[in-house]
């Protein structure tokens, strides 16, 4: 599953629901790739994180 800024235009309740769905996908071994600028999301839901900075993996 690939998601680009999936919570960008959502209220906090809807965003939480989306992130819980992604977490469930991860629990059943579905790879979830999310592009986000929301650091709070990364802090809460980060089983494995790769970070890009100016196009470089850091």
> Does the pTM of the predicted model rise above 0.85?
no
- Could you tell me the sign of the dihedral formed by the alpha carbons of 41, 7, 24, 49, in that order? negative
d(CA 49, CA 42): 8
Separation CA 47–CA 14 (nearest Å): 21
Q: List per-residue pLDDT tens for the chain, 58 residues long.
A: 999 999 999 999 999 999 899 989 989 999 988 888 888 878 877 767 888 888 898 8
**Residue tagged 């977490």 (tokens):** 23
Q: How many residues does the chain have?
A: 58
The SS3 call for residue 35 is: strand
């Amino acid at each position: 599953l690939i998601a680009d800024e999936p919570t960008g235009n959502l209220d906090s309740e809807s965003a939480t629901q989306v992130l819980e769905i992604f977490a469930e996908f991860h629990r059943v071994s579905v790879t979830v790739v999310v592009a986000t600028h929301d650091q709070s999301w990364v802090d809460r839901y980060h089983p494995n994180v790769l970070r890009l900075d100016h196009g470089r993996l850091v």
